[in-house]
Structure 1
Amino acid sequence: MRQSYAQRRWLQTVLCLLLVVPLLVQAGADPLPSWREGPSRQAIEAFVDAVTEQGGKDFVPAPERIAVFDNDGTLWSEQPLYFEVLFAMDEVKRLAPQHPQWRNEQPFKAVLENDHKALAAQGMDGVLKIVAATHSQMSTEAFVTRAGNWLATARHPTTGKPYTEMVFQPMLELLGYLRSRGFRTYIVSGGEVAFMRAFAEKVYGIPPEQVIGTTLAAEFRDADGQLTIQRLPKLAHNDDGPGKPVSIDAVIGRRPILAFGNSDGDLQMLQWTTAGEGRRFAGLVHHTDASREWAYDRQSKIGHLDKALDAAKAKGWTVVDMAQEWRRVYPSEEVSPSSTAGAQQPASSR
């Protein structure tokens, strides 16, 4: 039976609606559903709208829309120790049979005996010794494989979650939101660069060339035609504190217009970003949520937030109150409708 002209037009209209309506719904979807309405979200959206408005006084061309993010404590959790340190400690235990001297040599002895007090007494020098022993004397490819295997199987000692599931859902949304508005997103973190590259693209959508971190010395080797970049037990660049602006300048070659951190180790990156001309954005993730994550700032040895918090208040930077402003913390978490869910702030932050 042949269709009439009216029937054909009706079918065409229905098909158009079926195609267009989902696009309209998607276009109107909230790009930041895990962020509650509040000062931080308003500041982010106002900034992005201002720098992307063609012809506006604050317009920034797409190539100059550079956004940089710390990793530990900003994009994923960092308690009770930085996750990379937990990886290094597990590597010490795995490699111990090949190094019997570690049984009597600090800081390895403390790791093998689970003596956290003795390990803490070793300080940063001890951490660097552990990192050098577990991150070097192999090719970059071999190290990335080791890190990837650990991330695929290891579980956090408190939550029992895979570490890559302890990323912050609101920050994942922010990364996607920025990229949808023409930003390039970079990680600029104190973590070792190859460790972060083992998961950053899959977890954050940030490719290896946009991951900047602490680097070990390395050398090119040709072993009978087998070419590798060999990692050496020597620090080449510490990408923390003042090291962050240095690496941004060396690797990116442009000053960011947006920067996010969570600790004093990010202070100079935020200062460098906001010192540029035109409209700028600096943000801090403030860990105020003792029920869904952790609450800490000025007194914490991990993610110490003191000078940067004072600077943020003095300069009008955005400080994200995790307990008050995030509907959920991790991707697997139920969305909390209450504006006060988990609101347990450390006394020192007040």
Structure 2
Amino acid sequence: MPGTVASVVRKLAIAGLITTLCFVRLTGAVSAQTDALPSWNAGLVKQRIIDFVGRVTKDGGADFVPEAHRIAVFDNDGTLWAEQPIYSQFQYAIDQVSALAPAHPEWSSKEPFKGILAGDTKAALASGERGVAELMAVTHSGMTTEAFGITVDKWLEDARHPTTHRPYTQMVYQPMLELMKFLRANGFKTFIVSGGGVEFMRRFAERVHGIPPEQVVGSSGTVKFEMDAEGRPLLVKESTIDFIDDGPGKPVGINRFIGRRPILAFGNSDGDQQMLEWTAAGEGPRFMGLVHHTDAAREWAYDRKSPIGKLDKALTEATAKGWMVVDMKADWKDVFPPEN
């Protein structure tokens, strides 16, 4: 009898183990199918993203890509966060002019400062590239990198978007946050490759987008190493431009700072066209995407004629070559994260 009982117990234990293993496998399959992109509406765009990631991560599959080569690049303005009605970094410069104005009485009669102080941004922009360059120089140079970072941090904490009145760090696109998280969970390394200032973007990229500073590629001015009066080493931002990471500069920046051609690239404007072309030209599976701003109710609707985030030639090329165009109104269930 004891032997029989022991035999039954062993059989039950084995059966239980088999049942447990089956349950784990089944629940694992269910978990793998859990919606990683809940803010994306079901449809072609979402399915193509999921299918692409599935193909390049399937070990032994025809389209398998080793983790070291799973590089994904994203523009920032208009792709990861809102860029209307004015680029966030330009708004930062405008706000800094107002803050610095008491020490510069001559600005009250000199453009582009005069227009900004009078609340007339159009008059300030009428001074052209020279005026914009001067505006950026006085607000982005002549200080240490640490001092600049502190100023940007304070602005991000206090500033509010003129239309939504949300902090700029909450003007990010929830679907893109989910996409980047989904990619990283599948062995991708995500980079920002943007025309914005690299030191400006690095102040928020990690906590807002989950992208560390060393994975941010952007435009930059020259920086000079020097020692202060007490013998401490400093990095001082100068007014001369070192690198413009926009248009054809984006593939150059990718080559210079990343060193691998991406297999996935997302942008939203003609300034991203060459980055997508460079990505598409590589061998093996590729994914090129454009965010098309079509939702005037929840965000903005603009493309070919917009002075900010113009999407014209890149949209034509995307249509001709089968790149994925994300229709914000149709493809995104949510645009921004819930307000804090």
2:314 to 266, 287, 308: 308
Q: Which residue of 2 aligns with 1:188?
A: 193
Question: Partner residue of 1:174?
Answer: 179
For residues 72 and 275 of structure 2, what CA distance do their matches in structure 1 show? 11
1:320 aligns with 2:332: no
Work out which of the residue numbers 269, 275, 279 in structure 1 matches 2:285: 279
- The 3 A distance-change label for structure 1 pair 183 and 133 is same
**What SS does the corresponding residue of 1:170 show, helix, strand or coil?**
helix
Q: Are 1:100 and 2:105 matched, yes or no?
A: yes
Preserved contact between residue 285 and residue 319 of structure 1 (Cα < 8 Å): yes
AA matched with 1:249: N
1:103-127 CA distance string (max 9 Å, x none) = 1111111111111221231233322
Give the distance between the partners of 1:278 and 1:25, measured in 2 at CA: 29
Q: Report the CA distance between 1:40 and its aligned residue.
A: 1.2
Which of 186, 189, 213 is 1:208 aligned to? 213
Question: What is residue 33 of structure 1 aligned with on the other side?
Answer: 38
Write the letter of the residue equivalent to 1:71. N
Alignment partner, residue 226 of structure 2: 221
- What residue in structure 2 maps to residue 244 of structure 1? 250
Can you list the C-alpha shifts for 1:137-167, whole angstroms capped at 9, x where unaligned? 1111111111111001110111110011010
Aligned to 1:270: 276
What is the match of residue 338 of structure 1?
none
**1-side partners of 2:98 and 2:62: how far apart?**
57
Secondary structure of residue in 1 paired with 2:79:
coil
**Is the 2:75–2:266 Cα contact (8 Å) retained in structure 1?**
yes
Offset of residue 23 of structure 1 = 7.8
Q: Which residue of 2 aligns with 1:64?
A: 69
1:131 shift after superposition = 1.2
Deviations 1:57-102 (A, max 9, x none): 1111100000000000000000000011001100000001111111
Tell me which amino acid in the other structure corresponds to 2:263: I
Task: Select 2:154's aligned residue among 149, 153, 178.
Answer: 149
1:17-60: CA deviation from partner (whole Å, max 9, x where unpaired): 9xx79988755431000001112111211111111111111111
> Share of identical aligned residues, percent?
58
Is 1:129 equivalent to 2:134 in the alignment? yes
The residue type paired with residue 120 of structure 2 is D
SS at 2:127 equivalent: helix
The aligned residue for residue 79 of structure 2 is: 74
Is the 2:247–2:272 Cα contact (8 Å) retained in structure 1? yes
Once the two structures are superposed, what CA deviation does each residue of 1:271-318 show, in whole Å capped at 9, x if it has no partner?
A: 011111111111000000000000000010000000000010011000
Q: CA deviation at 1:198?
A: 0.5
Scaled by the length of structure 2, what TM-score is found?
Answer: 0.90
> Quick check: 1:169–1:331 contact (8 Å CA) kept in 2?
yes
* Contact map agreement 1:85 1:127 (CA 8 A) in 2: no
C-alpha distance 113-23 of structure 1, shift in aligned 2 (>3 A): farther
Equivalence for 2:297: 291
State the SS of the aligned residue for 1:220: strand
Q: Deviations over 1:318-349 (max 9, x none)?
A: 0000000000000017xxxxxxxxxxxxxxxx
1:230 aligned partner, one-letter code: V
CA contact (8 A) 2:112 2:125 kept: no
| Structure 1 segments unaligned to the other structure (5+ residues) | 1-5, 334-350
Indicate whether 1:44 and 2:36 are aligned: no
**SS at structure 2 position matched to 1:142:** helix
Residue number in structure 2 paired with 1:258: 264
CA distance in 1, matches of 2:243, 2:326: 30
The alignment covers a number of residue pairs equal to: 322
C-alpha distance in 1 between matches for 2:116 and 2:138: 13
Q: Please report the TM-score for the alignment, with normalisation by the length of structure 1.
A: 0.88
Q: Is the 8 A contact 2:125 2:132 kept in 1?
A: no
How far did 1:229 drift?
1.0
Cα deviation code 1:227-265 (max 9, x no counterpart): 111100111111110111111000001111110000000
Provide the alpha-carbon RMSD of the alignment: 2.1
Partner letter of residue 104 of structure 2?
A: H
Distance in 2 (CA, whole Å) between partners of 1:22 and 1:122 is: 63
